[in-house]
Amino acid sequence: MPTDRAVGIHDLSFRTGSLVLTHAELSKHTGASVAKYHKGIGQQAMSLPAADEDIVTMAADAAAPVIERHGTDRIRTLLFATETSIDQSKAAGVYVHSLLGLPSHIRVVELKQACYGATAALQFAAALVQREPEQQVLVLASDVARYDLDSPGEATQGAAAAAMLVSADPSLVEINTPSGLYTHDVMDFWRPNYRDTALVDGKKSMVAYLAAVDGARRDYQAREGLPIEKIRTVCYHQPFTRMAFKAHRHLLDGAGVEADTAAIDDAIAPTTRYNEIIGNSYTASLYLALAALLDGDDELDAATLGFFSYGSGSVAEFFTGRVVPGYRARLRTSAHLKAISRRRPIDYNTYRRLRTHPLPDDGAQHRLPHQTSGSFRLSGIEDHQRVYETVHASADIA
């Protein structure tokens, strides 16, 4: 029977790639000033996957501690959101299902709509739990943001995965209704099947993003959503972190709420802590913003948070959630900081070598060097099949 119990995020964990390229290092070779990166787009560094890492290994790393804490007895569905899928047919979540040893009585589905996909997965998960409150849904969002070398988008690259356990009576955030929705056909960012890197019109994308803020907010308020003044702060999708500040000012202006620059900075800066040193992680970005806010110093018991999810092309959603009192007891702050600190800095030449040596596509057997600092790795490719394995001891990255 459907439940009247609160439904939302019961646990949240994220992981990122094993390598990091700082924007100070990048600037030495692009000719751009460091200030353009640090202040102009709000980025300090970008996470990169090692040769034996991909969306599957990052997602499995993010999900493993969730499974360890809660077990698998109540999980009936695994939803994997990504826009950098590794297969046109098989869901990446099936590989994660195998790596984590999940039981067979679980449905696994992959979702795609640019960076919005994880929010679709979260809402679908909440609906499943509302219908059957004893079940839990594992939502995974994992992406590697990659643009052409020497392109304007290159400095916004990143890689990360977020894992969320959705359940009744959640420990972290209760998801509220209604949602404000917005869809508009626009070619601001896209990646055809024949390309490994995305195509983007940066100026058009910013205009489309802000139009989506307007559209989703209007729909939210038309459906008797809360006044914006009653929302503590908003977690935004962050293609680069300065976009969140622009979006918040736009949201407040559209709602007729006055706020000066200092007030906007105070509201949004706590959500950018992770994304500014990881880069854009597409579907995971919004939920890294939530993790940063929850892991921060602000006391959020019973606070109402806003969420703005944007996926180019474009689809957007604005909704709210209530932070559950006592949430701090369930946070994974130390693990998140460790995931970031364990990254190995690389120089620009190493980064270029990684980018110019893609995985082979000839179907022959290829073994990959052990470089990851995580618990799972892509060990090779054989007969056009990816082969994954569990790592029992982390390797030093050569």
Asked if the model's pLDDT at residue 397 lies above 60, the reply is: no
pLDDT in the model for residue 116: 98
Could you give the CA distance from residue 51 to residue 256 in angstroms, rounded to a whole number?
49
Rounded to the nearest integer, the mean pLDDT of the chain is 96
For residue 320, the tally of other CB atoms under 10 A from its CB is 23
170's CB contacts (< 8 A; 6+ apart) are 6, 7, 8, 9, 10, 324
Q: What is 175-326's CATH number, 1.20.1260.10, 3.30.1330.10, 3.40.47.10, 2.30.110.10?
A: 3.40.47.10
70-90: pLDDT as tens digits: 999 999 999 999 999 999 999
Annotated active-site positions, please? 83, 115, 237
DSSP annotation string for 184-237: ----SEE--TT-SS-EE-HHHHHHHHHHHHHHHHHHHHHTTPPPGGG--EEEE-
* Ranges of each domain in the chain: 7-173+332-390, 175-326
Residue with tokens 């890492």, as numbered in its chain: 53
Asked if the model's pLDDT at residue 396 lies above 60, the reply is: no
168-208: pLDDT as tens digits: 999 999 999 999 999 999 999 999 999 999 999 999 999 99
Instruction: Please name the CATH architecture into which domain 7-173+332-390 falls.
Output: 3-Layer(aba) Sandwich (3.40)
For residues 355 and 35, the answer to whether their CB atoms sit within 8 Å is no
Closest CA to 234 of 165, 169, 162, 310: 310
pTM: 0.97
Asked if the model's pLDDT at residue 118 lies above 90, the reply is: yes
Mean pLDDT, range 358-364, rounded to an integer: 88
Closest CA to 361 of 198, 197, 194: 194
Mean pLDDT, range 27-48, rounded to an integer: 96
370-388: pLDDT as tens digits: 999 999 999 999 999 999 9
pLDDT in the model for residue 1: 65
Could you give the CA distance from residue 316 to residue 285 in angstroms, rounded to a whole number?
14
pLDDT in the model for residue 357: 85
54-63: pLDDT as tens digits: 999 999 999 9
C-alpha distances out from residue 229 to 157, 174, 272, 306, 320, Å: 33, 19, 21, 11, 13
Helix (H) or strand (E) holding 315: strand 315-323
Could you give the CA distance from residue 107 to residue 119 in angstroms, rounded to a whole number?
18
First to last CA, the chain: 54
Tokens of 117: 């996909």
Mean pLDDT, range 273-285, rounded to an integer: 98
On the question of a common fold for 7-173+332-390 and 175-326, the answer reads: yes
